[in-house]
A = this chain, B = another copy of it.
Amino acid sequence: MTIDVEQPVRRRRPADQVRQLALECARRLLLQHGPSAITLQAVAGQLGMTHGNVTHHFGSANGLQGALAEAMIRDLVDAVQAALAGLRAGETDVRDVIDLVFDAFDAGGAGQLIAWLASSGHRDRLVPLCLTVAELATTLEHPAVDQQAEARRVGRIISAVIVPALGAALLGRELAGALRLGDDAFRVLATDQISTIGEEQPPTL
């Protein structure tokens, strides 16, 4: 047990709040300076906490980056679920949902962060965020006799957005420029493919 000595900056905060503040700080660092700027030291410094306190919550810089990626994907999944409700109500269209995901990967920084984890030997950090994505499947599945076929159909719909959104976040601008395509070419492609898969008859008999 330690005795708290009152300090103007390094006051004790509840664990959940520390975690939340650290993730918000990490997100700002990502957007301003890229994934490599997300370090325990930088977050501790900006929050006026000790390095040890941040380490206690995330273990390592990679742990912090992985936790941020997971939080970003969870926010995205929540936003997509809201957008899908709009889609069913006729208030939004498929392209709106595509834009939401592509924006999160591109301007939102998720693509850069995932690319950083995948290319720096920390693919294990990607598993929890893929499981979060998979939760979205339960929102999309229709009741069907052939549940395995339906799960595959929904998985293909999700994959047909996530995978190109990641690729486009990393290489889209340069590739569209070289091929003289519009900046939204990859979004149009994804919209077309989703529509094709979506029209496949879900097996309801």
Contact = CB atoms under 8 A, between A and B. Distances in A.
Interface of A: 34-36, 112-116, 118-121, 123, 126-127, 130-131, 133-134, 137, 151-152, 154-156, 158-160, 162-168, 170-181, 185-186, 189, 192-193, 196
Contacts of A126: 171, 174
B159 A114 contact: no
Contacts of A127: 174, 177-178
A163 B162 contact: no
A185 B156 contact: yes
A158 B181 CA distance: 11
A133 B178 contact: yes
Given A158-B179, A186-B159, A119 B130 contact: no
Q: Is the interface of A mostly helix, strand, loop or mixed?
A: helix
B166 A170 contact: yes
A124 B193 CA distance: 30
A159 B118 contact: no
B174 A160 contact: no
Nearest to A124: B174
Contacts of A112: 118-119
B163 A171 contact: yes
A174 B119 contact: no
A119 B192 CA distance: 28
A137 B170 CA distance: 21
A120 B116 contact: yes
Max chain B Cβ within 10 angstroms of own Cβ: one of A156, A174, A179, A189: A179
6 closest A-B pairs (Cβ-Cβ)?
Answer: A155-B179, A115-B115, A163-B167, A167-B167, A130-B178, A166-B167
